[in-house]
Amino acid sequence: MSGQSLLAFLRSGSFTQKPHSEAVSATIGALAKAALEVRKLTTQGALNAGFAASRGSENTDGDIQKDLDVVADGIFLQAIREVPVALYGSEENTGAILIDPAKPLALAIDPLDGSSNIETNVSIGTIFSILPVTGDPKSDPERSFLQPGTTQLAAGFFIYGPQLALVLSVGTGTRIFIHSSKFGDFIEAYDSVAIPNNASEFAINVSNYRHWEEPIRLYVDDCFAGSEGPREKDFNMRWIASLVADCYRILIRGGVFLYPADKRKGYGSGRIRLVYEANPIAFLVEQADGAATDSVNRILDIQPTSLHQRIPLVFGSKSKVERIARYHVDPEMISERSPLFGNRGLFRV
């Protein structure tokens, strides 16, 4: 734990080899200031009249918007108008917003991830990805957001929980900063996060079991079978239903998160947004020695086809993510399982 402030880190030249390092630093600083404003709103909860209420309209992904989603979006959009950002792509807007075509960066953002948890006082967050501008931002503003995640210059998320934290990577590892009211800045609490590889936790919404494809059901069956099953180990299940909260736990304690595609209407291609959710999460996880896939393929290698593209997402401890991929592509994984679990799943007769 180094204890340096976010401001000191951004001024330290830790990523001077990356293009546009000064612009990236300025953008992260602006996002941090905006996050403090959003934090003030989230801490008031139901005292913010109407902010937890649904607006009766849907965002670009078909989710019901809440007033606070739109307010948070406005706060971040206003904040980045003062820094070197040319384009703003948000979950709350249909298309990319052109700010200044002469600037070098594009910001993809989910301004308030997990806002459905506001009423229940569960941690929510803001996820962001910083990309270099490509092409002509005036004639084709969406093009800059259709780059694979490997081109990200920085990524991170703020989590509005018991602490206000910033999980950040500029491509030189993953760091966690906690906001300190005493020092008036984010202070580095973990300067080199490494996801433990031997954790026995997994996160998935088991209520959707009947909708999953066979490889996901087999993997979960084997986890639930515990020490008496083919894994010969007992597992605990965790599911917060907040992407940032589940990711934060995995960064600290290890384990694996699964949000697979399934057979429900609208879920056949997954549900997590590739550009401003899966890509930044994958960037952070890989920089912390973990892995992230769409169940089989590396997330950061996938070429986006639209700003709001959905995708399945599996991330966490590398060995577990790789095992889940093998359940999908390697028939020998089935033969490794005992006859009991190969023929009958935990929830199947």
- Is 139 annotated as belonging to a binding site? no
Known catalytic residues? 63, 69, 91-92, 110, 112-113, 277
- Is 112 annotated as belonging to a binding site? yes
- Is 115 annotated as belonging to a binding site? yes
Question: How many Å apart are CA 183 and CA 2, to the nearest integer?
Answer: 15
The angle subtended at Cα 330 by Cα 327 and Cα 331, nearest 5°, is: 95
Question: Using an 8 Å Cβ cutoff, are 141 and 12 in contact?
Answer: no
Question: How many Å apart are CA 344 and CA 348, to the nearest integer?
Answer: 6
Q: What does each C-alpha distance from 19 to 97, 101, 201, 338 come to in angstroms?
A: 23, 17, 38, 52
- Is 110 annotated as belonging to a binding site? yes
- Is 289 annotated as belonging to a binding site? no
Closest by Cα among 230, 228, 225, 263 to 346: 225
State the binding site for substrate.
113-116, 205
State the binding site for Mg(2+).
91, 110, 112-113, 277
State the binding site.
91, 110, 112-116, 205, 277
